[in-house]
Amino acid sequence: MNDTLIKQLAPTGVLRAGLNMANFLLITGTTDNGEPDGVSPDLARAIAADLGVEAVMVSFDGPGQVADAVAHDAWDIGNIAAEPERAKTVTFSEAYCEIQATYLLPPGSSIKTIEEVDAPGTRIAVKERAAYDLWLTDNLKNAELIRTPSIDDSFEVFAEQKLEVLAGLRPALLKQQEKMPGSTIMDKSFTAVQQSVGCKPGNAEAAEYLNNFIKNAKANGLIQQLIDKHGVTGRLSVAPLAADL
């Protein structure tokens, strides 16, 4: 393995993987020794194995914290969604998987289409700094975003304040829908949150290596195997190759 690549991706002798513990589709449990387990940790372990080093998991409460921690040299790779704001400080690979983001509507809602959500007077509960919050911030013109610290908090605010819309990832909304009989989830999605592997900016060899690794992992079936292994088939999808977009 190239010495420059090892210095860029494993300068301490191990590959430190920053994980977003709030993503219950990518972090689905723990290993026998208590480490985070799931698609994201297993992907980090596969990268470390390819590099010939040990993988060490570094846990964070949310994706924003993972992105912020790059400034403190807290990880070597960060497994989070690639968004324009985060890309200012993190260099991302192409996406390896994606999750649909959509809206939950309360009983009796007059909203019928995705487009109707972005209207004056519409209040949308959303987890702050989630990838879909960043997308909504950039794309909505009229609706008001009501940000909360966690996914559970966003549902509580949505329900207690009788907001018009709750934004979230479709799998999470399916669970929250059970708490509000008569509520509906929109069939269409407003975006797909694509998960990538990031590294520190300025490390050209590391960025190229990670991008090629992800391309190969999608093409050779590794990503689909991890999705199937961790029981999230149908909730996570393999992201298309960049050339297929």
Residues 17-30: tens digit of each pLDDT = 999 999 989 999 99
Residues 193-230: tens digit of each pLDDT = 899 999 999 999 999 999 999 999 999 999 999 999 99
Residues 185 and 139 placed together within one structural domain of the fold: yes
Residues 117-130: tens digit of each pLDDT = 999 999 999 999 89
For the chain, the domain total comes to 2
Residues 10 and 123 placed together within one structural domain of the fold: no
The single-letter code of the amino acid at 207 is A
Q: What is the pLDDT of residue 117?
A: 98
Q: pLDDT band at 241, cuts 50/70/90?
A: confident
Residues 125-178: tens digit of each pLDDT = 999 989 899 999 999 999 999 999 999 999 999 999 999 999 999 989 999 999
Residues 180 and 122 placed together within one structural domain of the fold: yes
CATH of residue 151: 3.40.190.10
Q: Is residue 122 part of a domain?
A: yes
Residues 84 and 104 placed together within one structural domain of the fold: no
Final residue in a domain of this structure, among 191, 215, 231: 191
DSSP letters spanning 128-145: TT-HHHHHHHHH-SSSEE
Residues 14 and 119 placed together within one structural domain of the fold: no
The dihedral built from the CA positions of residue 54, 210, 69 and 22, taken in this order, carries a sign that is: negative
DSSP letters spanning the chain: --HHHHHHH-TTSEEEEEEETT-TTT--EE-TTS-EESHHHHHHHHHHHHHTSEEEEEEESSHHHHHHHGGGT--SEEEEE--TTGGGT-EEPPPSEEEEEEEEE-TT----SHHHHSSTT-EEEEETT-HHHHHHHHH-SSSEEEEESSHHHHHHHHHHTT-SEEEEEHHHHHHHHTTSTT-EE-SS-SEEEEEEEEE-TT-HHHHHHHHHHHHHHHHTTHHHHHHHHTT-BTTBEEPPPGGG-
pTM for the whole thing? 0.76
Q: Whole domain around residue 118: which residue ranges?
A: 99-191
Average pLDDT rounded to a whole number, residues 58-69:
94
Provide φ and ψ at 110, rounded to 5°. Answer: -90, -5
Residues 11 and 81 placed together within one structural domain of the fold: yes
